[in-house]
């Protein structure tokens, strides 16, 4: 970001300004996560509780159990599919809002129209897909009536399809916002220059718009990955319990207070997500782009 003008000699105001953030992060992120890591090395004895003997048993158990890997594979599969779809949707919708809508107020209005659903609880929005996708639901009834099919489609609900639909429904906005923000900063004269230089419509997008929206895309990807990998109820409810996810494993362990194993599983999940985030940051140095 732009540096502060006329350098003042005292750094005190700066430290004071960043202090509240630091305190909150310390108390509500660093300490809790540290505790989780510590607990993951404890032992759990059923009916007794957590026994503070340091052991790596939890990690060994989890990492050597093929189910763990199956669950992570399943979660990653969903993450990639949802990422791809939300990227395509997010990019083109942001593009439409920034470059095709002429009136700023209209753009903001349309943007807000996309936001309104987010104030209805995620859970309600998710279960509202049931009367639409179910065997007696809207889509099936419509298809049956028009004679397109003669048996209701059962893969619309309680399947991978319904999980992906729900994820896209819930998380596309998180892709739209950062991309919208990046695109809005693109200097229009660059586009004009490209057109003048003879670039086709597609060429302008590929060579100018896309690279300049890198930051927004990276942030959007980060948000979506985080949300999908950290989710436990969308996948359980929409798949009808037929699919598990990394977090549903943690949730199961919490059912009977096996904190150490849940903690170990959580640490593994955190590491994987951090690795993905690091990879995204490798591709796009978000900090540099933002703090210009």
Partner 1 sequence: MSASPSYGPRPWTFYVLAALFTLFVIFLYGPMIAVLILSFQGPTASLVFPLREPSLMWFDELFNPRRTGDVVGAFNRSLPLALGVMLLTVLISVTAGFAFRRRFKGATAIFYTAIASLIVPGLVLSIGILVTFRYLGWSATWYTSGLGAHLSWALPFGLLIMFAVLGRLSPSYEEAAYDLGASRWQTVKEVVVPIVFPGMIAVALFGFTLSYDEFPRSWLTVGSKNTLPLEIWTMTTNVTSPALYALGTVTTIVSFLVIAIALSSIILIQRKRSRGK
Partner 2 sequence: MKKTLLNKTISRRSVLKGGAAIAGATAVTGFPMVWAQALKDITLNHTGMSYSTLPDIAKQASTDLGFKVEMSVVDHPGLLNRLVQDPKSLDVADLEIWQSKVAVPQGALQAVEIAKIKNWGELTPLYTEGTFAGKEVSRQGDSPFEFLYREAADTNGFATGKTDFANFVPGVYNADTLGIRPDLVGREVNSWADLISPDFKGKTAIQNIPTNGIMDAMMACEAAGLLKYGDKGNPTQEELSATIAKLIELKKGGHFRALWNTFDESVNLMASGEVVIQSMWSPAVTAVQTQGIKCTYQPLKEGYRGWGNGLGLLAHLEGLKRDAAYEYLNWYNSGWVGGFIAKQGYYSANPKTAMAALTENERGFFYEGKAATADITSPTGEKTNSAGDKRDGGSYEERFAQVAVWNNLMDQAEFLYAKWNEFNAA
**Does residue 263 touch partner 1 according to CB under 8 A?**
yes
Residues 141-160 that bind partner 2 (CB under 8 A): 154, 157-158
Residues 64-83 that bind partner 1 (CB under 8 A): none
Identify what 243 binds: partner 2, partner 1, none; CB under 5 to 8 Å per kind: partner 2
Query: Shortest distance, CB of residue 24 to partner 2, whole angstroms?
Result: 22
Binding region for partner 2 (CB under 8 A) out of 10-18, 65-73, 190-198, 276-284: 65-73
Binding region for partner 2 (CB under 8 A) out of 78-86, 165-173, 200-208, 246-254: 246-254
- 110 Cβ contact partners less than 8 Å away, ≥ 6 residues apart: 97, 101
DSSP the chain: -PPPSS--S--HHHHHHHHHHHHHHIIIIIHHHHHHHHHTTSEEETTTEEE-----HHHHHHHH-HHHHHHHHHHHHHHHHHHHHHHHHHHHHHHIIIII---HHHHHHHHHHHHGGGGS-HHHHHHTTHHHHSTTSHHHHHHHHTTS-SS--STTSSSHHHHHHHHHHHHHHHHHHHHHHHHHTS-HHHHHHHHHTT--HHHHIIIIIHHHTHHHHHHHHHHHHHHHHT-SHHHHHHTTT-S--HHHHHHHHHHTT-HHHHHHHHHHHHHHHHHHHHHHHHHS-HHHHH--
Identify what 147 binds: partner 2, partner 1, none; CB under 5 to 8 Å per kind: none
Binds partner 1 (CB under 8 A): choice among 83, 107, 218, 250? 250
Q: Which residue, 82 or 93, is less far from partner 1 as judged by CB?
A: 93
Q: Which residue, 154 or 285, is less far from partner 2 as judged by CB?
A: 154
Query: Shortest distance, CB of residue 120 to partner 2, whole angstroms?
Result: 17
**Does residue 127 touch partner 2 according to CB under 8 A?**
yes
Residues 96-125 that bind partner 1 (CB under 8 A): 96-97, 99-100, 102, 105, 108-110, 112-125
**Does residue 153 touch partner 1 according to CB under 8 A?**
no
Binds partner 2 (CB under 8 A): choice among 14, 65, 115, 141? 65
Q: Which residue, 170 or 253, is less far from partner 2 as judged by CB?
A: 253
**Does residue 48 touch partner 2 according to CB under 8 A?**
yes
Q: Which residue, 99 or 152, is less far from partner 2 as judged by CB?
A: 152
Q: What CA–CA distance (Å, rounded) separates 113 from 109?
A: 6
Angle at CA of residue 48, ends 46 and 54, nearest 5° = 85
Phi, psi (degrees; rounded to nearest 5) at 50: -85, 130
Residues in the site for partner 2, rule: CB under 8 A? Answer: 46-49, 65, 67, 70-71, 74, 127, 130, 134-136, 154, 157-158, 236-237, 240-244, 248-249, 251-258
């Amino acid at each position: 970001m732009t540096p502060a003008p006329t350098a003042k000699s005292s750094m005190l105001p700066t430290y004071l300004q960043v202090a509240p953030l630091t305190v909150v992060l310390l108390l509500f992120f660093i300490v809790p996560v540290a505790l989780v890591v510590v607990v993951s090395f404890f032992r759990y004895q059923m009916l007794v509780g957590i026994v503070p003997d340091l052991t790596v048993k939890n990690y060994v158990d989890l990492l050597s159990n093929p189910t763990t890997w199956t669950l992570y594979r399943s979660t990653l599969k969903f993450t990639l599919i949802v990422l791809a779809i939300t990227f395509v949707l997010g990019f083109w919708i942001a593009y439409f809002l920034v470059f095709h809508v002429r009136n700023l107020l209209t753009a903001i209005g349309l943007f807000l129209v996309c936001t309104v659903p987010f104030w209805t609880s995620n859970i309600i929005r998710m279960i509202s897909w049931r009367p639409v996708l179910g065997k007696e639901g809207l889509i099936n009834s419509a298809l049956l009536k028009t004679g397109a099919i003669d048996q209701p489609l059962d893969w619309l609900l309680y399947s991978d399809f319904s999980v992906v639909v729900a994820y896209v429904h819930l998380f596309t906005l998180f892709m739209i916002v950062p991309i919208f923000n990046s695109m809005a900063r693109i200097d229009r004269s660059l586009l004009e220059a490209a057109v003048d230089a003879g670039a086709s419509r597609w060429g302008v997008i590929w060579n100018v718009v896309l690279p300049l929206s890198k930051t927004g895309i990276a942030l959007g990807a980060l948000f979506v990955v985080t949300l999908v990998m950290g989710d436990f109820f969308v996948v359980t409810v929409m798949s009808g319990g037929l699919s598990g996810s990394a977090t549903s494993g943690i949730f199961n362990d919490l059912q009977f207070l096996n904190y150490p194993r849940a903690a170990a599983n959580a640490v593994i999940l955190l590491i994987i997500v951090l690795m993905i985030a690091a990879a995204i940051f490798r591709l796009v140095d978000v900090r540099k782009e933002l703090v210009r």
